[in-house]
Homo-oligomer: A and B are copies of this chain.
Amino acid sequence: MKDKDFLALELSKVEDHLIKTLKTRSKMVEEALERFVKSGGKRLRPTLTIIGATFGDYKSEIIIPLATSIEIMHMATLIHDDIIDDAETRRGTKTIQATLGKNTAVYCGDFLFTRAFMLVADMAEVDMMKDMSKAIAFICDSEIDQNEQRYDQTVSVRKYLKRIGGKTAVLFSLSIAVGAHKAGCDRNLTKKLTNIGKNIGMAFQIVDDILDFTGNEKTVGKPLLSDAKQGIFTLPIIYSLNSPYKEKTIKAIDMIEEDGGESLLKCVIESGGLDRTKGLARKFIKKALDIRNTLPDGYGKEAITEIIEKQLERKF
């Protein structure tokens, strides 16, 4: 019978595996990557892989490397994101790019991608390889979309959802699907879990975008309104632009450098943009909980419920 300690124990194995896998020739790079690993993060993706696998025949020695490879892949995308955003901090510590420069950061990201693939290739997981490749291609596509949509005041909710679907939700659904699949769950169960993963991912990114407005800079670990400052318009702004506050919002966007985003924050609150955004996040959470209801009772169902419900209370 799996208890509360089970997940903590498995996640600690993922931590060990992360450190072990990131050994490399350059001491400087190794130290930077270790610092990055130890700065934490929520480990949501490996958590999903582990929980997904508990619905079948859970084998730690198989699941841990897979969960680790997904977290490494995620870390790679974060490092490249930080280059693009010229971000100074992530999870409250200095980014790789801020520490070692752009040059090394590009290669650190590439290096992590290959490490993730090597882990999976070592286990001869061809299907997972394909899925991982597709997921990264999808993430790249969506990041390119996001980049092309910068400063576009006509971006629709539909486009936003497509973008975060690719940017974030794809990896969430892959994470849980890999776990379920490897533990031998049947197709129907795997599909349900994958869908839950997708909905958690959508809610996660929407909450992330809310926190960019309302979070606490310290707990969030990066400066607030960083998306808006870069011309990346997320849901609160999109809703605000699609409301009678349109003109006010445009003006507030123009003033962002001047007033640090104060008017924009006021705008997304008064226009109801922020509330509508929260409403949509709740919808995705509800969808995830609805599918959860159809899962077989037991440890996995309880664990996934906790993960789903946590998303709405997230403060960082």
Contacts and interface: CB of A to CB of B under 8 A. Distances in A.
A206 B129 CA distance: 35
Nearest to A136: B114
Q: Which of A77, A104, A133: most chain B CB closer than 10 A?
A: A133
B84 A106 contact: yes
Nearest to A126: B124
A88 to B, nearest CB: 16
A255 interface: no
A186 to B, nearest CB: 24
A204 interface: no
Interface residues on chain A, size class: 35 or more
B107 A140 contact: yes
Given A114-B136, A115-B137, A137-B115, A107 B80 contact: yes
Given A80-B110, A144-B26, A122 B130 contact: yes
A148 B26 contact: yes
Contacts of A129: 117, 121, 126, 129
Interface in A101-122: 101-104, 106-111, 113-115, 117-118, 121-122
B111 A83 contact: no
Contact of A140 (B114, B133, B134, B137): B114
Interface of A: 24-26, 28-29, 77, 80, 83-84, 101-104, 106-111, 113-115, 117-118, 121-122, 124, 126, 129-130, 132-134, 136-137, 139-141, 143-145, 147-148
15 contacts: A25-B141, A26-B145, A83-B102, A84-B103, A106-B106, A109-B110, A110-B139, A111-B141, A111-B144, A113-B136, A114-B140, A117-B117, A117-B129, A121-B129, A126-B129
